[in-house]
A = this chain, B = another copy of it.
């Protein structure tokens, strides 16, 4: 328990990712690798709909994104994201604002409770999805915090 860091809404104030939208992840991952003096990391991709069950603005979407990760501290990574053309918060913000920071992420416990807490504070759910061992939710923090929040829960999602 980190008692000196207050009583945050999400149960933590440790930021674990800075998510950056890019148009060409191969190129930008190489540029980050050169900048950090590391090998270019593997480029992965989020799951197909049947695995990810991605919901954007309350509706199912086929959207997927390529991903690459770089360590920028003991507990935090930069995540590069190159989304496909299907509807998503990734595609929307890349089309609207161009390349750049999309979100900061927090590792949380209790996804449903935390989504509701945020909604009650004027920060509604934008998108959610899952993978074999975890789930995520993007929260619209633009009005209050000037960015999107990602909640990450590292436990196998319940069968819906």
Residues of A near any B CB (own CB < 8 A): 5-10, 13-15, 18, 20-22, 28, 31-32, 34-38, 70-76, 78, 97, 99-101, 104, 121, 142, 144-147
Contact = CB atoms under 8 A, between A and B. Distances in A.
B38 A6 contact: yes
A36 B13 contact: yes
B97 A31 contact: no
Contacts of A7: 37
A88 to B, nearest CB: 18
B145 A28 contact: yes
Given A6-B36, A31-B145, A97-B97, 6 more contacts: A9-B35, A13-B38, A15-B78, A22-B146, A32-B145, A74-B74
A146 to B, nearest CB: 4
A130 to B, nearest CB: 25
Contacts of A36: 5-6, 8-9, 13
B144 A104 contact: no
B100 A15 contact: no
Nearest to A148: B100
Contacts of A73: 14-15, 73, 75-76
